C-alpha cells in the first residue's frame, strides 16, 4: 500500500497529491503549513 503525501501548490495553496497543481498548473511542495478553523469550540477537543 502506497501512502500519498499531500502537497500544497506554491501559487494558489491548493492541497493535492500531484506534482503539478490541477487548478493553476503551479509547482507543488511537500513542505507546507496549514491552519485549523474551529467552528464549535466548546465541544472541540483541539481547542
The pLDDT score that the predictor gives to residue 36 is: 77
pTM of the model: 0.65
| Residue in 25, 24, 23, 27 with CA at minimum distance from that of residue 7 | 27
Q: Please give the sequence-ordered ranges of beta strands (E in DSSP) within the chain, or none if there are none.
A: 7-9, 15-16, 28-29
Range of the structural domain that residue 28 is part of: 1-47
Domain count, the chain: 1
pLDDT tens column, 3-43 = 889 999 999 999 999 999 999 999 999 998 877 778 888 88
pLDDT band at 47 (very low <50, low <70, confident <90, very high): low
Which residues have CB under 8 Å from 37's CB, separation 6+? none
Amino acid at each position: 500500500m502506497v501512502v500519498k503525501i499531500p502537497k500544497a501548490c506554491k501559487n494558489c495553496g491548493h492541497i493535492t497529491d500531484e506534482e503539478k497543481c490541477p487548478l493553476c498548473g503551479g509547482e507543488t511542495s511537500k513542505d507546507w503549513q496549514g491552519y485549523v478553523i474551529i467552528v464549535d469550540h466548546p465541544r472541540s477537543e483541539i481547542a
